[in-house]
Structure 1
Amino acid sequence: MASIWVGHRGTIKDYPGFSPSVDAEAIRKAIRGIGTNEDSLINILTERSNAQRQLIVKEYLTAYEKELKDDLKGDLSGHFKHLMVGLVTPPAVFDAKQLKKSMKGTGTDEDALIEILTTRTSRQMKEVSQAYYTIYKKSLGDAISSETSGDFRKALLTLADGRRDESLKVDEHLAKKDAQILYNAGENKWGTDEDKFTEILCLRSFPQLKLTFDEYKNISQKDIEDSIKGELSGHFEDLLLAIVRCVRSIPAFLAERLHCSLKGAGTDEFTLNRIMISRSEIDLLDIRYEFKKHYGYSLYSAIKSDTSGDYENTLLKICGGDD
């Protein structure tokens, strides 16, 4: 059965002639030797699909009675450690942990919350919610509720529920109707009816919304983005704009997130690691294409000029090539 975490445009594929026991032994050697053999670790973990890495994790536990992630944590450090541990984590668990991190301590990383919740499919979100509950014994909804408020909270909860329609069929009549509702709720009204924006943007399928946005432009002579910017504010506005951008192109949205994480003072490794790991088997090739198209240089060269050492080598292998 095809995994809901694998697409056709990833940079990492199943490794042919894969043997979990051979890999587990090679990893054990790389960790146990005098000094760690990072190159060997990097080569194995970036050239196996996540499904294969999970089999290595199982094999490692059976053979050495140790969790591979714990051995990696004990042996590596810094951003390189986070990246390698991320690679051996199942996708739903990885997302759950990223969500937890973005809501931890003082201040919430709203951009990370928005990015994860807008780019995952309904089926992925259902798995992430299950994983979140299993790990933290608290529902994802409760966590979001205690960290956010208002319309922003309502919209996040709707997305976290994984109720967005996933069908590819579009209904022209519905698009016209929804476009009119959005127009009436915003541009055409004294004050804004935020709930209508949440309902339509968080529950309709992406292909359906694409058509709705076209109809919206016919009615209001404005792009939906401009109306959202004019009518709404704060994190709620950021979230709805992110949804619109994802409807137009998830890879372009994530390319921009990567660009922001790699430019200016200091690298945002939290974002960089998350996108590189979570999209490596879904659409990283498309993200690379959008990156080059929008910024005139390749993602590969951006990573190269902004990172170093084993961390850089691992990211470049996940990136899978220069454009």
Structure 2
Amino acid sequence: MLDLSAAFDTIDHIALLNRLEQQFGFSEKPLQWVASYLSDRFQTVSIDGKVSEPVLLTFSVKLIQGTVVPNSPFTAEISAQKLHKAMKGLDTDEKTIIDVMASHTNQQRQEIALAYEKLYDKNLPAELKSEISGNFENLVLALLETPANYDAKEIKFAIKGAGTDEGTLIEILSSRSNQRPPNRLTKHIDMVQIKSEFQRLYGKSLASFIKGDTSGDF
């Protein structure tokens, strides 16, 4: 049996359905079955044997389905205080940093960073950078980026220097839509956002930057 569950969690669902139809020949009932799997999802929370009322998740074939669901109940200030405490003293409490970062969605992490700055008048990424290092630092700081910001930086990194990381370019550019979803409240990341973020960060258009470092059909 082919297990596609990981694909549902890591790829734009519209791109996945199009690929299944156009490249692998899925049609009618098989394609409808996959589409139905991506929609009408409900979630419950169980604490000490008590189960909450089911809540309809706003993830569907128009969204990116992530593996991290919103932390609830959520208070940005409390999470910010946990991070501050984890960085006090001689030893950094890396476990607490991992717990906070891994148990909140990207949107919630943005709110935590804002709350941290309001509470302590300090920049959370800068504070973390001064306390941790290596791959752990890279991972934690990446989790504090917005998705569009992260993609823009990855594209820049893939092109700068000797040699172009074409794999990264293909992964990002081929899995993002050029069309904005009708509901701008969704978490769908599109090329419009990435191009805007790239222009803001580097002062030039994404298209001209890629054109200057690639050639031919690619």
Structure 1: gaps of 5 or more residues: 8-12, 14-48, 61-119, 125-161, 312-323
- Larger relative contact order, structure 1 or 2 (CA cutoff 8 Å, min sep 6): 1
Structure 2 counterpart of 1:165: 69
Structure 2 counterpart of 1:300: 207
Task: Give the Cα separation in 2 of the matches to 1:243 and 1:57.
Answer: 33
Task: Give the Cα separation in 2 of the matches to 1:261 and 1:179.
Answer: 32
Structure 2 counterpart of 1:177: 78
What is the root-mean-square deviation in Å for CA atoms of aligned residues?
2.7
Q: Structure 1 residues 296, 218: CA separation in 2 closer, same or farther (over 3 Å shift)?
A: closer
Structure 1 counterpart of 2:194: 287
Task: Give the Cα separation in 1 of the matches to 2:195 and 2:109.
Answer: 25
- Does the 8 A contact of 1:292 with 1:298 survive in 2? yes
TM-score (norm 2): 0.65
The answer to which structure has the higher helix fraction is 1
- Does the 8 A contact of 2:69 with 2:104 survive in 1? yes
Structure 2 counterpart of 1:151: none
Helix, strand or coil for the counterpart of 2:194? helix
Structure 2 counterpart of 1:223: 123
- Does the 8 A contact of 1:228 with 1:237 survive in 2? yes
Matching of residues 117-128 of structure 1 within 5 Å? 123-124=65-66
Q: Structure 1 residues 218, 55: CA separation in 2 closer, same or farther (over 3 Å shift)?
A: closer
Task: Give the Cα separation in 2 of the matches to 1:214 and 1:273.
Answer: 33
Deviations 1:87-114 (A, max 9, x none): xxxxxxxxxxxxxxxxxxxxxxxxxxxx
Helix, strand or coil for the counterpart of 2:91? coil
Alpha-carbon deviation of 1:6?
A: 4.2
Give aligned pairs, total. 164
TM-score (norm 1): 0.46
Structure 1 counterpart of 2:18: 52
Structure 2 counterpart of 1:259: 156
Structure 1, 232-241 or 283-292: larger mean CA deviation: 283-292
Helix, strand or coil for the counterpart of 1:266? coil
Deviations 1:235-287 (A, max 9, x none): 00110000111xxx211121111012122221111211111112236411210
- Does the 8 A contact of 2:70 with 2:108 survive in 1? no
- Aligned to 2:175, which of 264, 272, 278? 278
Structure 2: gaps of 5 or more residues: 1-7, 27-62, 179-188
Deviations 1:197-246 (A, max 9, x none): 0000111123322222222223332111111111111100110000111x
- Does the 8 A contact of 2:155 with 2:168 survive in 1? yes
Choose 1 or 2 for highest CA Rg. Answer: 1
